[in-house]
Amino acid sequence: MEQKNYGGKNYQIQAESIGHVGDIYQSPQVTAEELLHKGIQLLNQRAYRQAIDVLSDATKTNPSISDTHYYLAIALLSGEKPRKIDVWTIQSIESELNTAVGSAKKFISWLKAQVS
């Protein structure tokens, strides 16, 4: 179990893994939604490095929440203008935004199918 401290509040994060048949499957103690909200708070405080850590954990906890990818991309900008950012960071931002947009497109397709 890994201890993480996000803005003065300690969270215990358990890595999810599926072992042999019969093993107990335990979900993480901190939800991706809680991590997302904490990440947004850190962004608002301009604590970009901490926001990146929290939002990265949120994407690992539940990669299907598109908002976590979007806000992680924003955090990766670290309050800088895009032309002041290195190529690796730009590629990371692009990847997170593509994931966020892809999730949104899937949701819209699903929603349209429900209406039809």
Per-10-residue mean pLDDT for the chain, 116 residues long? 49 38 47 93 94 94 90 87 76 84 74 73
Is residue 14 a part of any domain in this protein? no
Angle at 63 between CA 31 and CA 43, to 5 degrees: 70
Q: What single letter denotes the amino acid at residue 31?
A: T
Residue 87 CA, chain-centre distance (Å), reads: 21
Question: Residue 83 is part of a domain; what is its CATH number?
Answer: 1.25.40
Q: Confirm if 14 and 26 have CB atoms less than 8 A apart.
A: yes
**Residue 58 in domain:** yes
DSSP 8-state code for residue 22: T
pLDDT at residue 60, rounded to an integer: 93
pLDDT at 116: 66
- 60 lies in some domain: yes
The C-alpha atoms of residue 26 and residue 12 are separated, in whole angstroms, by 13
The whole domain housing 81 covers: 31-115
Domain count, the chain: 1
